[in-house]
Amino acid sequence: MAELDPEDSKIITLARSARARTGAAEGAAVRDTMGRTYSACTVALPSLKLTALQAAVAAAVASGADGLEAAAVVTDADSVDAESLAAVHDMTPTAPVLRANAKGELP
């Protein structure tokens, strides 16, 4: 397996931290076109439900990001759900989305 770019490793680490900090089902992080990073976890409130990646994208948008370079999701799932991918690709259709397990390993 090819070695990850250090910036991609960083967003995986941020996603792992967001997940571990809250015990959420997923953690995610995105890097915007200015190099700023945003991390989040799954939001599961009675009145608000967001995937971790949707929440990270929302944080980026709320901070003025106009595009994304990359995204990462830490999950036990076998794939990243369509709603999460759509949130990233609404901002930048070509942005890669990395999926890692709880140890930060890519499949």
The predicted pLDDT at position 2 comes to 54
Give the residue with greater pLDDT, 3 vs 13.
Answer: 13
The model's pLDDT over 34-87, given as tens digits with 9 standing for 90+, comes to: 999 999 999 999 999 999 999 999 999 999 999 999 999 999 999 999 999 999
Strand order in 37-41's β-sheet? Answer: 37-41, 27-32, 68-74, 97-100
The model's pLDDT over 54-64, given as tens digits with 9 standing for 90+, comes to: 999 999 999 99
100 and 12 Cβ atoms separated by less than 8 Å: yes
